Amino acid sequence: MSDYTAYAVLAGRSVRLTRRNPDAVITALVLPVMLMLVFVYFFGGAIETSTGTYVTYVAPGVLILCAGYGASMTATTVSDDMTNGIIDRFRSMDTSPTAVLTGHVAASVARNAAATSAVLGVAFAIGFRPHAGVVDWLAACGILLLYITTLSWLGAAAGLLAKSPEAAGGFTFGMLFLPYPSSAFVPIDTMPDWLHGFAENQPVTPVIESLRGLLLDQPTGDSPWLALAWCLGLLAVALPVCAALFRRRTG
Amino acid sequence: MHREPRPSWAIETRGLSKAYGSVPVLKGLDLQVRRGSVFALLGPNGAGKTTTVRILATLARADTGQATVAGHDVVAARSRVRRAISLTGQYAALDEEQTGLENLRMMARLRGRSPAAARRRAAELLERFALTGAGDRRVSTYSGGMRRRLDIAAGLVGDPEVVFLDEPTTGLDPRSRRTMWATVGSLAGAGVTVFLTTQYLEEADQLADRVAVLDRGRIRAEGTPEELKKTVTAQRLDLTMAGSAAYQALVGRLGGRALHRAPEELVLGVATDGSAAHVRALLDELDPTREQVARFALHSATLDDVFLELTHE
């Protein structure tokens, strides 16, 4: 059998399982929208940014945040597969483990595409006004897609590492937390000095600065290249780590 | 002697050993399973049954020894083995939130069937396992017996030569167990080799052409159920004791030799070949004062007796 079929079949499986899991749908779609409304209406009045309305500043940040939620679910679904019997069935059928994990990553990308659409739709309705051409949009989507894929593979690694699906969710805490000490929600120069070094040099900041720069037609500087380097670097770590963890888990 | 053109063994192992850390689980397992037969690996919890199945199904590696399944080495030709087998473990390997039909279709697609062929195969298997009516329901709504049947069906999408069933009836109610026995019987009738593990002697007796008794990592006996019953202990001598003191005293003396204990009736059973000489010798040995045993009776041994005799400390 061509591996391509296994990839397609297992991606379809993961997407179907996500759709049928009410928790997953709520976490993937409702939570990001709620978070954006909280940021805009509860906190936004107190936050001064250079982009006019706060929703325009924060919408890209919310997209990054929901990428974290979407990817953290990958940890849970991968761990689910590893702790019930189905992984043994797939292995005894000679299905490649990469295809199983890629299926979960594909579902994560699909969840995030839906979440991104929902967040952008609501953002437009409450005043998000980007200034971007087609090329800028495509570039922004590309970076977002790469970021989501990277986080999802890290999530898959967490799922392989954890002993239970609950623990797997906990392992992804870092992904959910990293957007806060970045420029996602407030400009870094409003943070205490000791935090600047971390906030400016962690992976979320160049990703968010790229999105904001591209969508709001502001100078991006070297952010897109830094974002690319971070994501590809993390992927280069996550993929072999997943392979090694899978072998250890099933050895 | 004339050599067969293809190996007649569906499964053959030589000296399989495996330890988890410092705990030995298998200690030199030699098995031969004929093509198209039903083979039962019988043993108590912790005997090494699941480890054996996992090694044969290529999911775990033995520390030493060799195994071939469907003529292929489980390590060197792992992919070939995987294409020739199916494994149904103790825990249903199904997606709870997919329907029965979707699960089977997915497995058939992964086995390389086209979408249309996968749908046909799934429908066929649902019908064969009496699940047609439940095909469009999610597995999370299935009973334990239905789940187990679907699990076995999922293993058959690729027409395997060898089917591994690890404790196929553990946790099922008696009616579902009967249905499962019929299912296993129909597999064997279709020319598939079935390798099953069980802790139930009755099950091995009912289903298997040959039985191997596994205890603490070693095969204690192997043969047809009838052979086992004969070679190990053809008959059981049941002694009805004169009183509870006599009963207790004999329990203490027999220890693991007691194949059968019924304290309420004051009955103890021991193995015998059924000959007058042996029965007389046993009576003399166990009741030298000729006051303790009130009555005796001879029974044909059950597989339970064999099992207890083989696995006692």
CA distance B85 to A204: 47
Distance (Å, rounded) from C-alpha A124 to C-alpha B42?
Answer: 67
Enumerate the residues of chain A whose CB falls inside 8 A of the CB of residue B83.
94
Cβ contact A9–B106 (<8 Å): yes
Interface test mutation site (partner A, options B94, B102, B106, B109, max chain A beta carbons within 10 A): B109
Burial class, B106, CB count within 10 angstroms (exposed 0-12 / middle 13-18 / buried 19+)? buried
Q: Which two tokens stand for residue A238?
A: 């996550």
Helix (H, G, I), strand (E, B) or coil at B278: helix
Query: For residue range B182-206, what is the model confidence (pLDDT) as tens digits?
Result: 888 888 888 899 999 998 888 888 8
The answer to whether residues B305 and B272 touch, using CB atoms and an 8 Å cutoff, is no
Mean pLDDT rounded to a whole number for chain B: 88
Closest CA in chain B for residue A77: B95
- The DSSP 8-state label assigned to residue B63 in this structure reads S
Q: Is B25 helix (H, G, I), strand (E, B) or coil?
A: strand
Question: Distance from A69 to chain B by nearest Cα, in Å?
Answer: 21
Task: Give the helix, strand, coil percentages of chain B, each rounded to 5.
Answer: 40, 30, 30
**Residue B233 has what pLDDT?**
62
* Complete DSSP assignment for B66-129: EEEETTEETTTTHHHHHHHEEEE-SS--S-TTSBHHHHHHHHHHHTT--HHHHHHHHHHHHHHT
Please answer yes or no on whether B87 and A89 come within 8 Å at the CB atom.
yes
What pLDDT, in 10s, does the model give residues A209-233?
A: 999 999 988 888 889 999 999 999 9
**Mean pLDDT computed over B143-160:** 90
Q: Is A88 helix (H, G, I), strand (E, B) or coil?
A: helix
Distances (CA, A) of A152 to A107, A108, B119, B292: 9, 7, 32, 75
Q: Which residues of A touch B (CB under 8 A)?
A: 1, 5-6, 9-10, 13, 16-17, 20-21, 84-86, 88-95, 250-251
**What pTM value is reported for the model?**
0.80
CA–CA distance from A80 to each of A14, A77, A196 (Å)? 12, 5, 38
Contact B110 A95 (CB under 8 A): yes
Which DSSP letter does residue A39 get? I
Contact B98 A13 (CB under 8 A): yes
Q: What tokens appear for A224 in the block? A: 């897109």
Asked whether residue A1 carries a pLDDT value surpassing 50, the answer given is no
Residues A135-173 pLDDT 10s:
999 999 999 999 999 999 999 999 999 988 888 888 888
In this prediction, residue B4 carries a pLDDT of 47
Locate A204 and state its tokens: 């979320």
Cα B192 to chain centroid distance, Å, stands at 16
pLDDT tens per residue across span B79-89? 999 999 999 88
Q: How far is the alpha carbon of A79 from chain B, nearest alpha carbon, in Å?
A: 14
Look up residue B265 and give its DSSP letter: T
Among B129, B74, B136, B76, which residue's Cα sits nearest to residue B101? B136
Higher per-residue confidence, B184 vs B106? B106
Distance of alpha carbon A91 from alpha carbon B41, whole angstroms: 23
- Structural domain tally of chain A? 1
CA distance B69 to A33: 54
Distance separating alpha carbons of residues A18 and A72, to the nearest angstrom: 13
Residue A85 with chain B: CB contacts under 8 Å? 89-93
Please judge whether B110 and A6 are an interchain contact, meaning their C-beta atoms are less than 8 angstroms apart. yes
Structural domains of chain B sorted by starting position, each given as residue range(s) with its CATH number in brackets: 9-223 (3.40.50.300), 230-311 (3.30.70)
Residue type, B82: R
Cβ distance B112 to A5 less than 8 Å, yes or no, reads: yes
Of B87, B97, B138, the CB nearest to A92: B87
Distance from CA of A2 to the nearest CA of B (A): 8
**Contact yes or no for B49/B167 (Cβ under 8 A):** yes
Nearest Cα of chain B lies from the Cα of A6 at a distance, in angstroms, of 6
Which tokens go with A140?
């922004």
- DSSP 3-state assignment of B219? strand
Q: Are B71 and B81 in contact (CB under 8 A)?
A: no
Is the separation of the CB atoms in A203 and A234 below 8 Å? yes
Q: What is the DSSP letter of B256?
A: G
| Nearest CB partner across the interface for A88, out of B93, B95, B102 | B93
- In three-state secondary structure terms, B292 is coil
pLDDT above 90 for B70: yes
Interface contact A86-B110, CB threshold 8 A: no
Collapsing DSSP states into helix, strand and coil, what is residue B27?
strand
Q: What is the ipTM of this complex?
A: 0.86
Residues from chain B that touch A84, judged by Cβ atoms under 8 A, are 91-93
The answer to whether the CB atoms of A85 and B92 lie below 8 A apart is: yes
Residue B1: predicted pLDDT: 46
B83 vs A94: CB contact, 8 Å cut-off? Answer: yes
Amino acid at B206: Q
For an interface test with A, the pick among B20, B69, B86, B110 (most A C-beta atoms closer than 10 Å) comes out as B110
**Shortest distance, CA A13 to any CA of chain B (angstroms):** 8
Diameter of chain A by CA atoms?
59
Report d(CA B168, CA B173) in Å as an integer: 12
Rounded to 10°, the helix A97-125/A54-83 angle is: 150
Which residues form the domain of A205? 3-250
Of A10, A92, A251, the CB nearest to B57: A92
